[in-house]
Amino acid sequence: MPMARAIQHNSLSLPSSPQKTYTLSSQNQTQNEEVNGNDSINEKISQRRPSDLPKKSNGSSKNTSTTSTLPTSQSQGFRRLIINDGPTTRKRSNTDVPAIMSSSSNGFKQQLPTINGSTNEKSLSHHNPQQNQSAPPKPKSTLPASICQPSYVTPSKLFNMMGYGLQNQYLLMHAHYLYIIDCRSREKFNDSHIVTAIHWEDALNGNVYISVVERFSEIVLYDEKGVFFNTTAEMRRVSNRFSPHGSKSCILLAGGFEAFRILFPFVCNQADIRSTVDREKFLTIYPSVVLDNQLYLGTGHQATNWKVVRDLKLTHIINISVEHQCVFADKIKYLHIELEDKEDVLLKDRFDETIHFMNIAFQNPTNRILVHCNLGISRSSTLILAYLMKTYNSTLYEAYKFLRHRRPIVCPNIGFLHQLIEYEHDLFSYTYTDANDRLFH
The β-bridge relationship of strands 268-269 and 193-194 is antiparallel
Tell me the pLDDT band of 130, cut-offs 50, 70 and 90: low
Q: How much is the average pLDDT of 115-129?
A: 42
Q: For residue 168, is pLDDT > 80?
A: no
pLDDT of residue 82: 35
Q: Which one has a higher pLDDT value, 171 or 91? A: 171
Closest Cα partner for 312 from 328, 331, 336, 289? Answer: 289
Q: Has residue 310 got a pLDDT over 60?
A: yes
Q: What is the per-residue burial (b if ≥16 Cβ within 10 Å, else e) of 104-119?
A: beeebebeebeeeeee
Give the pLDDT band of residue 134 (cuts 50, 70, 90). Answer: confident
Q: In the chain, what is the straight-line distance between the N-terminal and C-terminal CA atoms, in Å? A: 36
Q: What is the pLDDT of residue 145?
A: 83
Extended strands (E) in 103-187: 113-114, 152-153, 178-182
pLDDT given for residue 262 in this prediction: 96
Q: Active-site residue among 148, 183, 250, 373?
A: 373
Structural domains in the chain, sorted by start? 39-126+286-440 (3.90.190.10), 152-282 (3.40.250.10)
| Mean of per-residue pLDDT scores for the chain | 74
**Better pLDDT: 27 or 235:** 235
Helix, strand, coil shares of the chain, percent, nearest 5, are 30, 10, 55
Query: Which tops the pLDDT comparison, 197 or 214?
Result: 197
Q: How confident is the model at residue 275, as a pLDDT?
A: 76
According to the model, what pLDDT value does residue 8 have? 40
Cβ-proximal residues to 149 (8 Å cutoff; 6+ apart), any chain: 37, 228, 229, 254
183 catalytic, yes or no? no
Q: Give residue 304's pLDDT.
A: 96
Answer for the pair 100, 170: CB distance below 8 angstroms, yes or no: yes
Lowest mean pLDDT among 94-103, 276-285, 303-312, 385-394: 94-103
pTM: 0.69
> 369 has which bridge partners?
295, 316
In whole angstroms, give the CA distance from residue 329 to residue 316: 10
- Identify the H or E element spanning 138: none
Least confident of 97-101, 171-175, 197-201, 246-250: 97-101
Q: What is the mean pLDDT of residues 291-302?
A: 95
- Mean pLDDT of all residues in 325-340: 96
- Kindly report which listed range (42-46, 235-239, 374-378, 417-421) carries the lowest average pLDDT score: 42-46
Asked whether the beta carbons of 302 and 341 are under 8 A apart, the reply is: no
Q: Is the pLDDT of residue 46 over 70?
A: no
